[in-house]
Structure 1
Amino acid sequence: MSEQKRVAIIGSGNWGSAIAAVIGGNLQKEQTKFHREVRMWVFEEMINGRKLTEIINQDHENVKYLPGQKLPENVIAEPDILKAAEDADLLVFVLPHQFIARSCKQLVGKVKSGAIALSLVKGLNNPEPGKIGLISDIIKEQLGVEVGVLMGANIANEVAAGSFCETTIAFKNVEHGRLFRDAIQTENFRVTVVNDVANAELSGALKNIVAFAAGLIDGLYGEKAGNTKAAVIRLGIMEMIDFAEKFFPGGSRETFLESCGVADVITSSFGGRNRKCAEAFAKQPDKTVKQLQDEMLNGQLLQGPGTAEEVNHFLKAKGRENEFPLFTTVHRICVKEIPAKELLDHLRNHPVHK
């Protein structure tokens, strides 16, 4: 029998803990391909006088980021990122995208030879004006490993609770994607493997801007604006596809029909944190996005406003903001350059209507 492969999870927030619950549960049962233990890197913090790692390892629950959901006993919280990643064959990155470069820097030269990585990170990299890149490329370039992505219509609490859902794993080497699928797929968490990494990752990042726009509609007009919300979501999806084809050519439009695409936009626009905070932002114009994030998310970070900012910096440097009015308008609203009530004014003459 070949050597069992070790899995390590870099990150332990809401989504990180949820995927740890899924992988840990799988590897408790799987006795051949994978090592049973799953190490999870946890940024140490004190909760009611106890270390978070101590709580997770003793009580088997991430009481801050995934309260009420038990983690399998084979998920081991580790505060040292090097120890968490030590000897891991499969690295699962699930952090806010703002922290990826800093975390990878600590792992340079310390990753096992032949390891592969999977990014669950939804965001983009804007290294300098006029340039934009994928988070998976940061991991690949810094660590020298092949990197794929997992993106899908996956609200973390529902995944952890075992609700039926789908997700998409994208790897250029689909056999590597299937290896991660074997560690992740369950009866209720179904995985499709594709080879279109860029479009899958762009979908996961850009959908947060669309979800924020959908939340603004909820806050401005309430439940009676179903037609309006649907129109905004469709325009957002069209901008996602247009952005991918103009700046990351070579992918397939069919990828946007996978769970990472349309399905993720739908679930995020009706149930995600970006929608929730955007609704509150529209209703409370005296508050900033940062204030609402701190009040409502218990330490989690919003991705929509940050991604909108990165996209806007890129488009502005290119002189192409007008080609993406929804992306541009969401950014301007988030930074209070214009009020939320002006959203539709900037979409009525959208390029797709001409």
Structure 2
Amino acid sequence: MIAAVRSTVFRGQLRSQLRCFAYVPPTFSTPEKVAIIGSGSFGSAAALSVARNAARFDFCDSEVRMYTFEEEITVGDGVVSFPETEKLSRIINKKHENPKYLPGVKLPDNLVSCPDLLTACLDATLLIFVMPFQFLKPLLPTVRKVMDPEARGVSLIKEVHFDEETLGVKLISKQIQDGLSFKKETDGRDRKFPCGVLMGANIASEIANGDFSESTLATRFRVNEEGDDLNEKTRIVLNNTESFRVYSIRDVEGCEACGALKNVIAIGAGFVDGLGMGSNTKAALMRIGIQEMERFCNDFLDGVEPSTFSESCGMADLITTCVGGRNRKCGEIFAKAVINGAPLSWDSIEEDHLNGQRLRGVKTTKQVHELLQSQDLLRLYPLFSKIYSIAYDGEPVDSIIDGLYIPNEVIMTKNGSNRVEIEEVTTTA
């Protein structure tokens, strides 16, 4: 008994020592002013590390501004305190908490909520985008007017769009880049706004609680005129050595596509949970899902690195989303409603269960299906296709099993024509 207690105490002391080691960042010549555009659950969680680092590092302006879409929030439970309506930005600045999207979490004092976009982005050198792109796009001209001329950005938006004219993938980071690029007044040359992405196995509430997690930062920033490595500088601003480890890669395209495509597979994981199936089925769905994600990236994007899919933005994010994400949750609600004979629309599920957050997986499911269909590639993506058919065409939820296979054509292409044993699959009509 005494030995067990000593062992427990020792482990606690060791953990404390490991978590409290001093970290000295590289020295940078140019000052950094950070603005966060978006104040939802993940935006507020990301702001924790960013604001703490800004207060800590000499090269950062200590004040971090967070653009907040203004909402009227009712505070007070009617028992302990009298209910009253107050603006969300005022609550964040007064109580240092986001009661709607990240309740119960203390936000740093140097994080300032700004309902005015001009104020939030004025002279910002690093812009962190974390709001649905449909709401962000109209704001980009305003951001361009007031940001620092040498500003760069990082997108945390887990979406992809599809171009109906070119039948290709439109990355959000590329659309942000296009929206914030401008012509320099000094010499008339075009200044392309550089934008990377941050994707990973990152559930906002767990990050806010200090649970350890990793994330993948994909950037191809340059070294500036003063000699600062902007890739490493960006990583350090986002990184928390104790609980939010950020690792750098250069594959922006693959990293960003993973962040969106895994939401489709998570919808399927919700179907599996709604059916009451176990870990074996979900493991098969995730294995086949990551392969379809990689195949999709190789079919529609250039320069995607195979190693990206083993980063946090790849397999780790897929696992987390299929276990605890909002897309999995809503997929389960949808499946159970269908099984019980009272189907629900995706819009009603989003409205009733996500507290103002967006359900991105079903929209991406539809867009992926339309793109694959336009290229006559549906036969090579049975899981993507089956998730769409259940979500939109009314196919039975238990037909998800019919999508859990690798097509023979894919196996033969991957392994060469000399392979003797290939997967034979019988599907139901």
TM-score (norm: length of structure 2): 0.79
Q: Structure 1 residue 168 and structure 2 residue 253: aligned?
A: no
Cα deviation for residue 348 of structure 1 reads 4.5
Q: 2:168 touches 2:300 (CA, 8 Å); kept in 1?
A: no
Aligned residue number for residue 415 of structure 2? none
Match 1:34 to one of 46, 50, 60: 60
Q: Which runs of 5+ in 2 are unaligned?
A: 1-27, 75-84, 182-192, 223-228, 412-422, 425-429
Match 1:298 to one of 355, 358, 378: 355
CA distance in 2, matches of 1:3, 1:336: 55
Aligned residue number for residue 327 of structure 2? 274
Of stretches 35-44 and 301-310 in structure 1, the one that deviates more from structure 2 is: 301-310
CA distance in 2, matches of 1:288, 1:106: 36
Match 1:346 to one of 400, 403, 409: 403
Select the structure of larger CA radius of gyration: 2
Which residue identity does 1:216 align to in structure 2? F
Q: Structure 1 residue 79 and structure 2 residue 115: aligned?
A: yes
Cα deviation for residue 99 of structure 1 reads 2.5
Q: 2:253 touches 2:301 (CA, 8 Å); kept in 1?
A: yes
CA distance in 2, matches of 1:349, 1:233: 12
Distance of aligned partners of 1:337 and 1:131 in 2 relative to their CA distance in 1, 3 Å threshold: farther
Which residue identity does 2:40 align to in structure 1? G
CA distance in 1, matches of 2:134, 2:376: 25
SS in 2 for 1:284: helix
Q: Structure 1 residue 10 and structure 2 residue 37: aligned?
A: yes
SS in 1 for 2:275: helix
Where is the helix percentage greater, Structure 1 or Structure 2?
A: 1
CA distance in 2, matches of 1:112, 1:334: 44
Aligned residue number for residue 235 of structure 1? 288
- Alignment RMSD: 1.7
Which residue identity does 1:140 align to in structure 2? Q
- Structure scoring higher RCO (CA < 8 A, sep ≥ 6) equals 1
Cα deviation for residue 349 of structure 1 reads 6.4
CA distance in 2, matches of 1:321, 1:271: 28
Q: 1:151 touches 1:201 (CA, 8 Å); kept in 2?
A: yes
| Superposed counterparts of 1:24-103, under 5 Å | 24-30=51-57, 32-48=58-74, 49-103=85-139
CA distance in 2, matches of 1:87, 1:106: 12
Misfit runs of 4+, over 3 Å: 346-354
Aligned residue number for residue 187 of structure 2? none
Cα deviation for residue 313 of structure 1 reads 2.0
Q: 1:97 touches 1:121 (CA, 8 Å); kept in 2?
A: yes
Q: 1:273 touches 1:302 (CA, 8 Å); kept in 2?
A: yes
Which residue identity does 2:259 align to in structure 1? G
Q: Structure 1 residue 133 and structure 2 residue 181: aligned?
A: no
Q: 1:293 touches 1:302 (CA, 8 Å); kept in 2?
A: yes
Cα deviation for residue 295 of structure 1 reads 1.1
Aligned residue number for residue 265 of structure 2? 210
CA distance in 1, matches of 2:86, 2:161: 35
Q: 2:284 touches 2:404 (CA, 8 Å); kept in 1?
A: no
Which residue identity does 1:44 align to in structure 2? E
Aligned residue number for residue 182 of structure 1? 236
CA distance in 2, matches of 1:120, 1:330: 25
Distance of aligned partners of 1:109 and 1:127 in 2 relative to their CA distance in 1, 3 Å threshold: farther
Which residue identity does 2:213 align to in structure 1? C
SS in 1 for 2:127: strand
Cα deviation for residue 2 of structure 1 reads 4.0
Of stretches 20-29 and 9-18 in structure 1, the one that deviates more from structure 2 is: 20-29
Q: In percent, how many aligned pairs have the same letter? A: 42
SS in 1 for 2:288: helix
CA distance in 2, matches of 1:279, 1:94: 26
Distance of aligned partners of 1:320 and 1:105 in 2 relative to their CA distance in 1, 3 Å threshold: farther
SS in 2 for 1:178: helix
Cα deviation for residue 3 of structure 1 reads 4.6
Q: 2:169 touches 2:301 (CA, 8 Å); kept in 1?
A: no
SS in 2 for 1:301: coil
CA distance in 1, matches of 2:270, 2:230: 36
Match 2:390 to one of 306, 329, 333: 333
Q: 1:217 touches 1:229 (CA, 8 Å); kept in 2?
A: yes
Cα deviation for residue 75 of structure 1 reads 0.6
Q: 1:61 touches 1:68 (CA, 8 Å); kept in 2?
A: yes
Q: Structure 1 residue 255 and structure 2 residue 303: aligned?
A: no
SS in 2 for 1:221: coil
Cα deviation for residue 212 of structure 1 reads 1.2
Aligned residue number for residue 148 of structure 2? 112
SS in 2 for 1:227: helix
Aligned length: 351
Aligned residue number for residue 148 of structure 1? 196
CA distance in 1, matches of 2:309, 2:230: 21
CA distance in 2, matches of 1:346, 1:308: 14
Deviation string, structure 1 residues 105-125 (Cα, Å, up to 9, x no partner)? 432443321100000000101
Deviation string, structure 1 residues 267-296 (Cα, Å, up to 9, x no partner)? 111011111111111101211121111111
Of stretches 308-317 and 233-242 in structure 1, the one that deviates more from structure 2 is: 308-317
